[in-house]
Amino acid sequence: MDSVQLGDRVLALFEDGRSFLFKVQDGKLQTHHGIIDLASLVGKNYGSVCETHTKERFYIMKPRLVDEIYKMKRQTQIVYPKDIGFILLMLDVHEGKTVIDAGVGSGAMCAALARAVGTKGKVYAYERREEFKKLAQENLTKWGLADRVEIKLRDISEGFDERVDAIFLDVPDPWNYIRQCYEALNGSGNIAIVCPTTNQVQHVLEEISKFSFVGIEVWESLFRQYKPVADRLRPFDRMVAHTAYMIFARKVMNDWRD
């Protein structure tokens, strides 16, 4: 049986659907349903029921990365789980790969990339704002992913130091860094660019056509959730209508035209 260890991150899930995500250590956590004595959770099985000091019950769950992302401290728009999974697939990021994450922000996508490359891979993360670098570093450390990510405080117009298998580019003016990305990619390497407006997509398409990229694709995703009620199955009333357009391309060494 898999039980809670000191230092684990744990998701406490109350019956009303509210949840708390914390590290198991000495100390107490005040919730709307009473106080949780954190150290008392050590040794409990994951998935089992515990109680606050007022006898309110909660489940102790292992947080998924999506739980961490939804609950993370953020100062920027994040990439949504609905898009993260598809981007990882299209970038073909997996165990042992090297990736550049340009425009780290709060670190959500960086964490997803770091998980995907595993302990043998490496993520080189670039961020030009000190406070975001610090926040991302904190988040990655908290999630145990800091050792496979190197965050650099840098304006990417200067270019990247590495040659990598894949690049994720999430900055307000991605069209200005296509050359730098092209140069940093290995042959056959994959790039993913996200941007919220159609105008940005147009600029990227214009610029990317000047470099030797193939397989250029532009996508958007709509995820719709249903009320999980067997005898009245129907979607919820409202949904996310838009997060970002996703642009994908693959580097080749020279052009058909050369």
Residues tagged in the binding site annotation: 127, 155, 170
Write down the residue that tokens 């993520």 correspond to.
123
Bridge partners (DSSP) listed for residue 125: 101, 151
Scanning 33-41, 102-110, 153-161, 196-204 for contacts with its own copies by CB under 8 A, the matching segment is: 196-204
Helix (H, G, I), strand (E, B) or coil at 162: coil
For its own copies, the closer CB: 157 or 209: 209
Angle between helical axes of 81-91 and 108-117 (0-180°, round to 10): 40
- Angle, CA of 167, 150 and 113, to the nearest 5°: 45
Considering only residues 216 to 235 of the shown chain, the ones binding its own copies according to CB under 8 A are: 216-235
For its own copies, what does the binding mask look like between residues 12 and 41, x meaning CB under 8 A?
-x-x--------------------------
Q: Which of 30, 119, 141, 157 binds its own copies (CB under 8 A)?
A: 119
Distance of alpha carbon 244 from alpha carbon 79, whole angstroms: 8
- Angle, CA of 135, 201 and 174, to the nearest 5°: 40
Verify binding: residue 201, its own copies, rule CB under 8 A: yes
Q: Which of 20, 70, 86, 211 binds its own copies (CB under 8 A)?
A: 86
Verify binding: residue 5, its own copies, rule CB under 8 A: no
Verify binding: residue 133, its own copies, rule CB under 8 A: no
Which tokens go with 103?
């425009």
Residues at the binding site for S-adenosyl-L-methionine are 127, 155, 170
Verify binding: residue 189, its own copies, rule CB under 8 A: yes
The minimum distance between CB 99 and its own copies, in angstroms, equals 14
Verify binding: residue 42, its own copies, rule CB under 8 A: no
Q: Which of 79, 90, 102, 156 binds its own copies (CB under 8 A)?
A: 90
For residue 132, which of 87, 73, 64, 175 has the smallest C-alpha distance? 73
- Please answer whether residues 219 and 58 qualify as being in contact, where contact means their C-beta atoms are separated by less than 8 angstroms: no
